[in-house]
Structure 1
Amino acid sequence: MGQVLVLNASYEPLNITTWRRAVVMMLKGKAEGLEHDPCRQLRQGTHLPTVIRLRQYVRVPFRQLPLTRRNVFQRDNHTCQYCGSRDDHLSIDHVMPRSRGGGDTWENVTTACLSCNVRKGNRTPKEAAMPLSHVPRRPASSLSFEARRQIHSGHHQEWAKYVIGS
Protein backbone atom coordinates (compact mmCIF):
# COMPACT_ATOMS: atom_id res chain seq x y z
CA MET A 1 0.00 0.00 0.00
CA GLY A 2 1.35 3.42 -0.91
CA GLN A 3 3.84 2.09 -3.46
CA VAL A 4 4.17 3.58 -6.93
CA LEU A 5 5.88 2.01 -9.94
CA VAL A 6 8.19 4.52 -11.65
CA LEU A 7 8.69 4.06 -15.39
CA ASN A 8 11.40 5.62 -17.50
CA ALA A 9 10.35 7.84 -20.40
CA SER A 10 10.65 4.67 -22.53
CA TYR A 11 8.05 2.92 -20.31
CA GLU A 12 10.58 0.48 -18.80
CA PRO A 13 10.27 -0.02 -15.02
CA LEU A 14 12.91 1.95 -13.09
CA ASN A 15 11.99 1.97 -9.44
CA ILE A 16 9.30 1.54 -6.83
CA THR A 17 8.76 4.63 -4.71
CA THR A 18 6.28 6.07 -2.22
CA TRP A 19 3.13 7.86 -3.34
CA ARG A 20 4.39 11.05 -1.63
CA ARG A 21 7.57 11.09 -3.71
CA ALA A 22 5.55 10.30 -6.84
CA VAL A 23 3.15 13.20 -6.18
CA VAL A 24 6.10 15.58 -5.67
CA MET A 25 7.63 14.44 -8.98
CA MET A 26 4.30 15.03 -10.71
CA LEU A 27 3.85 18.48 -9.14
CA LYS A 28 7.35 19.47 -10.26
CA GLY A 29 6.53 18.37 -13.80
CA LYS A 30 9.15 15.61 -13.78
CA ALA A 31 6.61 12.80 -14.17
CA GLU A 32 3.09 12.10 -15.35
CA GLY A 33 0.57 9.77 -13.77
CA LEU A 34 -0.46 6.78 -15.87
CA GLU A 35 -2.45 4.70 -13.37
CA HIS A 36 -4.32 5.88 -10.28
CA ASP A 37 -5.95 4.35 -7.22
CA PRO A 38 -9.69 5.07 -7.54
CA CYS A 39 -10.19 4.51 -3.79
CA ARG A 40 -7.60 7.00 -2.51
CA GLN A 41 -7.56 10.73 -3.13
CA LEU A 42 -5.49 13.74 -2.19
CA ARG A 43 -7.19 16.76 -0.65
CA GLN A 44 -7.54 18.46 -4.04
CA GLY A 45 -9.67 15.58 -5.30
CA THR A 46 -6.98 13.98 -7.48
CA HIS A 47 -6.49 10.24 -7.13
CA LEU A 48 -3.20 8.87 -5.78
CA PRO A 49 -0.90 7.55 -8.52
CA THR A 50 0.09 3.88 -8.66
CA VAL A 51 2.18 4.15 -11.86
CA ILE A 52 4.06 7.24 -13.05
CA ARG A 53 6.31 7.86 -16.07
CA LEU A 54 9.29 10.19 -16.11
CA ARG A 55 9.13 12.89 -18.76
CA GLN A 56 12.87 12.64 -19.49
CA TYR A 57 14.83 9.44 -20.11
CA VAL A 58 17.23 8.42 -17.30
CA ARG A 59 20.22 6.13 -17.89
CA VAL A 60 20.48 3.47 -15.19
CA PRO A 61 23.36 1.01 -14.68
CA PHE A 62 22.47 -2.69 -14.57
CA ARG A 63 22.32 -4.27 -11.08
CA GLN A 64 22.12 -8.00 -10.55
CA LEU A 65 19.69 -9.52 -8.07
CA PRO A 66 21.59 -11.09 -5.15
CA LEU A 67 21.43 -14.87 -4.75
CA THR A 68 19.62 -15.36 -1.42
CA ARG A 69 17.34 -18.09 -0.03
CA ARG A 70 14.39 -15.69 -0.09
CA ASN A 71 14.99 -14.77 -3.73
CA VAL A 72 15.39 -18.41 -4.79
CA PHE A 73 12.14 -19.35 -3.00
CA GLN A 74 10.34 -16.49 -4.70
CA ARG A 75 11.77 -17.29 -8.13
CA ASP A 76 10.50 -20.87 -7.70
CA ASN A 77 7.14 -19.69 -6.30
CA HIS A 78 7.74 -21.40 -2.92
CA THR A 79 7.26 -24.76 -4.66
CA CYS A 80 9.42 -27.89 -4.69
CA GLN A 81 10.83 -28.12 -8.21
CA TYR A 82 10.84 -31.93 -8.04
CA CYS A 83 7.40 -32.92 -6.70
CA GLY A 84 5.45 -29.64 -6.82
CA SER A 85 4.78 -29.55 -3.07
CA ARG A 86 4.17 -26.18 -1.43
CA ASP A 87 5.32 -27.50 1.96
CA ASP A 88 6.29 -25.07 4.73
CA HIS A 89 9.64 -26.83 5.13
CA LEU A 90 11.45 -26.02 1.90
CA SER A 91 15.19 -26.09 1.39
CA ILE A 92 17.71 -25.12 -1.24
CA ASP A 93 19.03 -27.95 -3.43
CA HIS A 94 22.10 -27.81 -5.64
CA VAL A 95 21.29 -29.36 -9.02
CA MET A 96 24.94 -30.36 -9.40
CA PRO A 97 25.93 -31.13 -5.78
CA ARG A 98 28.60 -28.91 -4.24
CA SER A 99 30.64 -32.01 -3.35
CA ARG A 100 30.86 -32.71 -7.09
CA GLY A 101 31.89 -29.19 -8.10
CA GLY A 102 28.50 -27.48 -8.28
CA GLY A 103 28.56 -23.84 -7.27
CA ASP A 104 26.23 -21.39 -5.60
CA THR A 105 24.79 -19.85 -8.77
CA TRP A 106 21.27 -19.01 -9.92
CA GLU A 107 21.55 -21.76 -12.54
CA ASN A 108 22.58 -24.44 -10.01
CA VAL A 109 20.22 -23.87 -7.06
CA THR A 110 16.56 -24.70 -6.83
CA THR A 111 13.80 -25.05 -4.25
CA ALA A 112 13.14 -28.55 -2.89
CA CYS A 113 11.05 -29.99 -0.09
CA LEU A 114 13.08 -31.78 2.56
CA SER A 115 12.02 -35.28 1.47
CA CYS A 116 12.97 -34.65 -2.18
CA ASN A 117 16.27 -33.07 -1.17
CA VAL A 118 17.15 -36.10 0.98
CA ARG A 119 15.95 -38.54 -1.70
CA LYS A 120 18.06 -36.83 -4.38
CA GLY A 121 21.08 -36.78 -2.09
CA ASN A 122 24.48 -36.42 -3.72
CA ARG A 123 23.21 -37.10 -7.24
CA THR A 124 22.13 -35.02 -10.21
CA PRO A 125 18.40 -34.94 -11.03
CA LYS A 126 19.03 -37.27 -13.98
CA GLU A 127 20.92 -39.81 -11.85
CA ALA A 128 18.17 -39.72 -9.21
CA ALA A 129 15.43 -39.97 -11.88
CA MET A 130 13.92 -36.76 -10.46
CA PRO A 131 13.39 -34.28 -13.30
CA LEU A 132 13.08 -30.58 -12.46
CA SER A 133 9.77 -28.91 -13.29
CA HIS A 134 11.65 -25.72 -14.30
CA VAL A 135 15.26 -25.22 -15.30
CA PRO A 136 16.79 -22.76 -12.81
CA ARG A 137 17.69 -19.39 -14.36
CA ARG A 138 18.88 -16.00 -13.18
CA PRO A 139 15.93 -13.58 -12.83
CA ALA A 140 15.86 -10.73 -15.36
CA SER A 141 16.26 -7.79 -12.96
CA SER A 142 15.76 -7.00 -9.32
CA LEU A 143 13.08 -4.40 -10.03
CA SER A 144 10.93 -6.59 -12.26
CA PHE A 145 11.42 -9.39 -9.71
CA GLU A 146 10.06 -7.17 -6.90
CA ALA A 147 7.27 -5.80 -9.09
CA ARG A 148 6.16 -9.34 -10.02
CA ARG A 149 6.12 -10.21 -6.31
CA GLN A 150 3.71 -7.29 -5.72
CA ILE A 151 1.51 -8.28 -8.67
CA HIS A 152 1.32 -11.98 -7.72
CA SER A 153 0.58 -11.19 -4.09
CA GLY A 154 -2.60 -9.43 -5.26
CA HIS A 155 -1.30 -5.89 -4.88
CA HIS A 156 -0.95 -3.51 -7.80
CA GLN A 157 -2.52 -5.58 -10.58
CA GLU A 158 -2.31 -2.45 -12.75
CA TRP A 159 1.51 -2.85 -12.83
CA ALA A 160 1.26 -6.08 -14.86
CA LYS A 161 1.08 -4.38 -18.25
CA TYR A 162 4.34 -2.53 -17.55
CA VAL A 163 6.39 -5.44 -16.16
CA ILE A 164 7.68 -8.08 -18.57
CA GLY A 165 7.02 -11.65 -17.47
CA SER A 166 4.28 -10.85 -14.98
Structure 2
Amino acid sequence: MSLKFFDKLSQNLIELNDKNDYNKKKIFSKMKIILKQLSSRTFLLEFLMLFFRIVDLENCETRFIYDLMLAADEFELEKLTDKIETLLIETKGSWLRIHFSFIYHFIFRRNDYKKLKNFYNNIIVKYPNLIFDSSDFTSLEESAIVSLLERARS
Protein backbone atom coordinates (compact mmCIF):
# COMPACT_ATOMS: atom_id res chain seq x y z
CA MET A 1 0.00 0.00 0.00
CA SER A 2 2.73 2.47 0.87
CA LEU A 3 4.48 1.84 -2.45
CA LYS A 4 1.33 2.84 -4.31
CA PHE A 5 1.12 5.95 -2.20
CA PHE A 6 4.66 6.93 -3.13
CA ASP A 7 4.03 6.00 -6.77
CA LYS A 8 1.04 8.33 -6.77
CA LEU A 9 3.05 11.07 -5.07
CA SER A 10 5.81 10.69 -7.65
CA GLN A 11 3.26 10.78 -10.47
CA ASN A 12 1.76 13.99 -9.07
CA LEU A 13 5.19 15.62 -8.97
CA ILE A 14 5.93 14.52 -12.54
CA GLU A 15 2.59 15.94 -13.74
CA LEU A 16 3.21 19.17 -11.87
CA ASN A 17 6.61 19.55 -13.48
CA ASP A 18 5.31 18.74 -17.01
CA LYS A 19 2.58 21.40 -17.07
CA ASN A 20 3.34 24.82 -18.52
CA ASP A 21 1.61 26.66 -15.69
CA TYR A 22 4.16 29.22 -14.49
CA ASN A 23 2.84 29.42 -10.91
CA LYS A 24 3.04 25.67 -10.42
CA LYS A 25 6.59 25.58 -11.78
CA LYS A 26 7.51 28.45 -9.50
CA ILE A 27 6.11 26.58 -6.47
CA PHE A 28 7.84 23.36 -7.51
CA SER A 29 11.17 25.18 -7.89
CA LYS A 30 10.77 26.74 -4.46
CA MET A 31 10.00 23.33 -2.94
CA LYS A 32 13.13 21.82 -4.53
CA ILE A 33 15.27 24.60 -3.03
CA ILE A 34 13.70 24.15 0.41
CA LEU A 35 14.07 20.37 0.30
CA LYS A 36 17.78 20.68 -0.45
CA GLN A 37 18.21 22.72 2.74
CA LEU A 38 16.35 20.31 5.04
CA SER A 39 17.94 17.44 6.84
CA SER A 40 16.36 14.06 6.19
CA ARG A 41 15.17 13.95 9.81
CA THR A 42 13.44 17.32 9.49
CA PHE A 43 11.83 16.33 6.21
CA LEU A 44 10.58 13.04 7.63
CA LEU A 45 9.02 14.78 10.62
CA GLU A 46 7.42 17.44 8.38
CA PHE A 47 6.04 14.66 6.18
CA LEU A 48 4.57 12.79 9.16
CA MET A 49 3.02 15.96 10.54
CA LEU A 50 1.55 17.03 7.25
CA PHE A 51 0.08 13.74 6.07
CA PHE A 52 -0.63 11.86 9.27
CA ARG A 53 -0.97 14.72 11.75
CA ILE A 54 1.16 12.86 14.28
CA VAL A 55 4.43 13.68 15.90
CA ASP A 56 5.91 13.66 19.36
CA LEU A 57 8.32 16.52 19.95
CA GLU A 58 8.71 15.76 23.64
CA ASN A 59 11.98 13.86 23.25
CA CYS A 60 13.45 16.00 20.46
CA GLU A 61 16.35 18.38 20.97
CA THR A 62 15.27 22.00 21.23
CA ARG A 63 17.45 23.11 18.31
CA PHE A 64 15.76 20.47 16.16
CA ILE A 65 12.32 21.77 17.19
CA TYR A 66 13.43 25.31 16.33
CA ASP A 67 14.72 24.14 12.92
CA LEU A 68 11.45 22.30 12.37
CA MET A 69 9.54 25.53 13.00
CA LEU A 70 11.69 27.29 10.40
CA ALA A 71 11.10 24.47 7.90
CA ALA A 72 7.34 24.57 8.53
CA ASP A 73 7.44 28.32 7.91
CA GLU A 74 9.36 27.80 4.65
CA PHE A 75 6.64 25.37 3.51
CA GLU A 76 4.07 28.00 4.57
CA LEU A 77 2.44 25.62 7.05
CA GLU A 78 1.09 28.41 9.22
CA LYS A 79 -0.80 26.30 11.76
CA LEU A 80 2.17 24.02 12.31
CA THR A 81 4.56 26.97 12.58
CA ASP A 82 2.24 28.60 15.11
CA LYS A 83 1.95 25.43 17.21
CA ILE A 84 5.71 24.89 17.30
CA GLU A 85 6.28 28.56 18.15
CA THR A 86 3.87 28.22 21.08
CA LEU A 87 5.51 24.97 22.18
CA LEU A 88 8.95 26.61 22.20
CA ILE A 89 7.74 29.54 24.29
CA GLU A 90 5.79 27.41 26.76
CA THR A 91 8.29 24.59 27.26
CA LYS A 92 11.69 25.76 26.02
CA GLY A 93 11.90 29.30 27.40
CA SER A 94 15.31 28.76 28.99
CA TRP A 95 16.78 27.61 25.66
CA LEU A 96 15.25 30.64 23.93
CA ARG A 97 16.88 32.92 26.53
CA ILE A 98 20.28 31.23 26.18
CA HIS A 99 20.17 31.70 22.41
CA PHE A 100 18.70 35.20 22.70
CA SER A 101 20.92 37.09 20.26
CA PHE A 102 20.86 34.49 17.50
CA ILE A 103 17.07 34.03 17.50
CA TYR A 104 16.22 37.68 18.18
CA HIS A 105 18.11 38.83 15.10
CA PHE A 106 16.54 36.13 12.93
CA ILE A 107 12.89 36.63 13.87
CA PHE A 108 12.98 40.37 13.24
CA ARG A 109 14.19 39.83 9.67
CA ARG A 110 10.83 38.14 9.01
CA ASN A 111 7.21 39.23 9.25
CA ASP A 112 6.24 36.04 11.07
CA TYR A 113 6.89 34.83 14.61
CA LYS A 114 4.73 37.37 16.44
CA LYS A 115 4.67 35.26 19.60
CA LEU A 116 8.46 34.97 19.70
CA LYS A 117 8.81 38.70 19.06
CA ASN A 118 6.49 39.39 21.98
CA PHE A 119 8.37 36.87 24.15
CA TYR A 120 11.70 38.59 23.47
CA ASN A 121 10.31 42.11 23.81
CA ASN A 122 8.97 41.17 27.25
CA ILE A 123 12.49 40.08 28.22
CA ILE A 124 14.04 43.29 26.89
CA VAL A 125 11.53 45.47 28.75
CA LYS A 126 12.66 43.78 31.98
CA TYR A 127 16.37 43.57 31.07
CA PRO A 128 17.16 46.31 28.50
CA ASN A 129 20.90 45.83 28.92
CA LEU A 130 20.60 42.51 27.07
CA ILE A 131 20.13 44.40 23.85
CA PHE A 132 21.64 47.83 24.46
CA ASP A 133 24.92 46.53 25.91
CA SER A 134 25.36 43.76 23.36
CA SER A 135 27.89 43.97 20.56
CA ASP A 136 25.04 43.12 18.17
CA PHE A 137 23.07 46.27 18.95
CA THR A 138 24.24 48.16 15.86
CA SER A 139 23.22 45.31 13.59
CA LEU A 140 19.63 45.11 14.85
CA GLU A 141 16.93 45.14 12.23
CA GLU A 142 14.90 48.33 12.05
CA SER A 143 11.73 46.36 12.78
CA ALA A 144 13.24 45.14 16.07
CA ILE A 145 14.00 48.69 17.23
CA VAL A 146 10.55 49.92 16.17
CA SER A 147 8.95 47.02 18.02
CA LEU A 148 10.90 47.88 21.18
CA LEU A 149 9.97 51.56 20.96
CA GLU A 150 6.30 50.72 20.48
CA ARG A 151 6.47 48.39 23.45
CA ALA A 152 8.10 51.07 25.62
CA ARG A 153 5.46 53.61 24.61
CA SER A 154 2.55 51.39 25.73
TM bucket (normalised to shorter chain) is under 0.3
- Report 1 or 2 for greater relative contact order, CA contacts < 8 Å, sequence distance ≥ 6: 1
TM-score scaled by length of structure 2: 0.24
TM-score scaled by length of structure 1: 0.23
Higher strand share: 1
